[in-house]
């Protein structure tokens, strides 16, 4: 039986009430190429057992990250998540708890959010962090909106090294409220061009390090130039583990940090849910989106936790809200916090160093192959190579050899003219044997 709560008369009455003639009128703002004409190519009717069998057959066509040598990154990274993390987040105290609208009965939730904020602030080198956002891309968008409120300017300059998907998500959000974006041309080492684009109308400069090509950059000079012009510097980080080895954004002069925390405690999981990290300087805290948990004492002098700032529209008047984000990624940031606690500072630094060593070994192996050119000058655990033929074609050929070789840049930005560029990532999960298999298979494919 299907659950159809509305009759045709119900729908007609609802459309009449809002002045629409047909349901199609509700989608006039969706571009025609994005609309589907007709039904999805799936059976119209199937029993539960048949559906289960069909889905298993579809899933069987996938090659999972753990089933083959895996070198994909581009903003989502395969790291080892200790079994302890999954065990703790599935405890009923955490799994069944909801957002802390009533702090007096959500002390456990508030405490781990408070600890999470402390970890993120330490990791990013910033003074204050919030209780997480949806993911890294929407955190970047919120950072741009925050910068326009702080500076009372309306333009964001975005480096050509920022992940194209982050740029697209940000433009979708900020253009809707009239914010102008200037996206600089795509470049492997993009930060040199940023300083010259900062002007008196610039609200913020957005840079990413390591950038989408893996290039690690000291953005101190960009921070100084932004400050001199009265603009804010937003640093984007898509690989959180990199902050265990590289200079933190705060040390380099960032005003706002928008990062993706998936690398710590959260598996790839088919693209989500992930966890957005957001931190800023203390002086900007009143314009920070989301919410912040704080520590206090109760009437008996006992330690307690509260929602210190809740600048969301769910908590205050809509016109006073700094964000319309409806929740934080609670379970994902708990997994992040547990993994960080298990690692500690020493463990995180060792993990980051191991990632870098694996990437260096992968770089050396690929650089020795005829026709392969390494493009990224300095990197953490990801780098770009130029191949003598389209990267997407090479990746498909390597997949036939059960090697997941990386992400073609053309998949992220089809119009950039970099069809021969492949992004390759290596983490602590990369075995020396995996590197040898990749190099041998790539050499064979290119020679053929």
SS3 of the chain: the string is CCCCCCCHHHHHHHHHHHCCCCHHHHHCCCCHHHCCCCCCCCCCCCCHHHHHHHHHHHHCCCCCHHHCCECCCCCCCCCCCCHHHHHHHCCHHHHCCCCCCCHHHCHHHHHHHHHHHHHHHHHHCCCEECCCECCHHHHHHHHHHHHHHHHCCCEEEECCCCCHHHHHHHHHHHHCCCCEEEECCCCCCCHHHCHHHCCCCEEEEEEECCCCCCECCCCHHHHHHHHHCCCEEEEEECCHHHHHCCCCCCCCCCCEEEEECCCCCCCCHHHCCCCEEEEECHHHHHHCCCEEEEEEECCCCCEEEEEEEECECCCCCHHHCCECCCCCCHHHHHHHHHHHHHHHHHHHHHHHHHHHHHHHHHHHHHHCCCCCEECCCCECCEEEEECCCCHHHHHHHHHHCCCECCEEHHHHCHHHCCCCEEEEECCCCCCHHHHHHHHHHHHHHHHC
CA distance 123 to 247: 10
Burial class (CB in 10 A: 0-12, 13-18, 19+), 368: exposed
Q: Cα separations (Å) of 34 from 28, 29, 31, 103, 439?
A: 11, 10, 5, 43, 39
Please say if the pLDDT value at position 102 is more than 70.
no
- As a dihedral over the C-alpha atoms of residue 393, residue 394, residue 399, residue 405, rounded to 10 degrees, the angle is -130
Query: Has residue 326 got a pLDDT over 80?
Result: no
Cα(318)–Cα(379) distance, integer angstroms: 43
Phi-psi label, residue 371: left if phi above 0, alpha if psi -120 to 50, beta otherwise: left
Q: What is the pLDDT of residues 200-232, one digit of tens each?
A: 999 999 999 999 999 999 999 999 999 999 999
Positive or negative, the Cα torsion across 327, 329, 330, 333?
negative
Please, what is the average pLDDT of the chain?
Answer: 92
Structure tokens at 357: 């060593």
Decide the pairing of beta strands 256-260 and 232-237. parallel
Q: What is the pLDDT of residue 97?
A: 66
Confidence check: pLDDT of 264 > 90: yes
How many residues are given for the chain? 448
> What are 133's strand-pairing partners?
276
86 CB contacts (<8 Å, ≥6 apart)? 335
Highest mean pLDDT pick, 42-46, 290-294, 317-321? 290-294
The first and second tokens of residue 425, run together, are 């990532």
Distances (CA, A) of 347 to 125, 261, 341: 18, 17, 9
Tokens of 205: 């400069």
Which comes out higher in pLDDT, residue 440 or 2?
440
Query: What is the mean pLDDT of the segment spanning 235-246?
Result: 98
Q: What was the pLDDT predicted at 73?
A: 97
Q: Tokens for 103?
A: 């702090």
Are the beta carbons of 305 and 294 closer than 8 angstroms? yes
Angle between helical axes of 432-447 and 330-367 (0-180°, round to 10): 60
- Residue 1: predicted pLDDT: 45
Alpha-carbon span 43 to 328, nearest angstrom: 37
**pLDDT at site 103:** 62
Q: In this predicted structure, what is the pLDDT of residue 316?
A: 60
Q: pLDDT tens digit string along 64-83? A: 899 999 999 999 999 999 99
Check residues 425 and 306 and name the one with the higher pLDDT: 425
- Least confident range from 24-33, 227-236, 367-376: namely 24-33
Structural domains for the chain? 66-81+344-447 (3.90.1150.10), 83-340 (3.40.640.10)
122: number of Cβ within 10 Å? 16
Integer CA distances (angstroms), 63 to 21, 34, 343, 402, 426, in order: 46, 28, 30, 8, 18
In terms of C-beta density within 10 A (0-12 exposed, 13-18 middle, 19 or more buried), how is residue 224 classed? Answer: middle
Say yes or no to pLDDT of 340 above 50: yes
Distance CA 233, CA 217 (A): 14
Q: Categorize the per-residue pLDDT at 13 as very low, low, confident or very high, splitting at 50, 70 and 90.
A: very high
């Amino acid at each position: 039986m299907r659950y159809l709560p509305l009759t045709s008369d119900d729908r007609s009455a609802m459309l009449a009430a809002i002045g629409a003639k047909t349901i199609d009128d509700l989608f006039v703002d969706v571009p025609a190429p994005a609309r589907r004409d007709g039904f999805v190519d799936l059976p119209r009717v199937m029993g539960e057992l048949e559906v289960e069998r069909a889905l298993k057959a579809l899933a069987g066509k996938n090659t999972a990250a753990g089933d083959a040598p895996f070198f994909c990154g581009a903003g989502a990274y395969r790291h080892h998540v200790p079994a302890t993390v999954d065990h703790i987040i599935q405890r009923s105290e955490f799994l069944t708890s909801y957002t802390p609208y009533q702090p007096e009965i959500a002390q456990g939730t508030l405490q781990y959010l408070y600890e999470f904020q402390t970890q993120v602030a330490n990791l990013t080198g910033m003074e204050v962090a919030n209780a997480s956002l949806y993911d890294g891309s929407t955190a970047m968008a919120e950072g741009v909106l925050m910068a326009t409120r702080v500076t009372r300017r309306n333009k964001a300059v975005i480096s050509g090294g920022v992940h194209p998907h982050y740029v697209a998500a940000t433009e979708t959000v900020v253009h809707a409220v009239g914010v102008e974006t200037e996206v600089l041309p795509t470049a492997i080492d993009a930060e040199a061009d940023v300083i010259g684009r900062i002007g008196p109308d610039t609200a913020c400069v957005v840079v990413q390090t390591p950038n989408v090509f893996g290039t690690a950059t000291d953005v101190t000079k960009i921070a100084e130039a932004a400050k001199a012009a009265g603009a804010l510097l937003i640093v984007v980080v898509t690989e959180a583990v990199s902050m265990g080895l590289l200079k933190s954004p705060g040390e380099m002069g960032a005003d706002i940090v928008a990062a993706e925390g998936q690398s710590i405690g959260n598996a790839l999981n088919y693209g989500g849910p992930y966890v957005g990290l957001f931190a800023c300087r203390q002086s900007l805290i009143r314009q920070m989106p989301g919410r912040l948990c704080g520590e206090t004492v109760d009437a008996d002098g006992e330690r307690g936790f509260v929602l210190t700032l809740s600048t969301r529209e769910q908590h205050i008047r809509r016109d006073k809200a700094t964000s319309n984000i409806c929740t934080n990624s609670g379970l994902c940031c708990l997994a992040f916090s547990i993994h960080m606690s298990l690692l500690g500072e020493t463990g995180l630094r060792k993990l980051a160093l191991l990632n870098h060593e694996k990437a260096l070994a992968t770089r050396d192996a690929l650089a020795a192959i005829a026709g392969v050119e390494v493009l990224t000058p300095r990197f953490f655990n990801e780098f770009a190579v130029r191949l003598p033929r389209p990267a997407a074609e090479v990746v498909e050929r390597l997949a036939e050899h059960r090697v997941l070789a990386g992400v073609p840049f053309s998949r992220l930005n089809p119009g950039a003219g970099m069809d021969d560029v492949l992004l390759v990532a290596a983490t602590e999960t990369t075995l020396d044997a995996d590197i040898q298999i990749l190099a041998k298979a790539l050499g064979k494919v290119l020679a053929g």
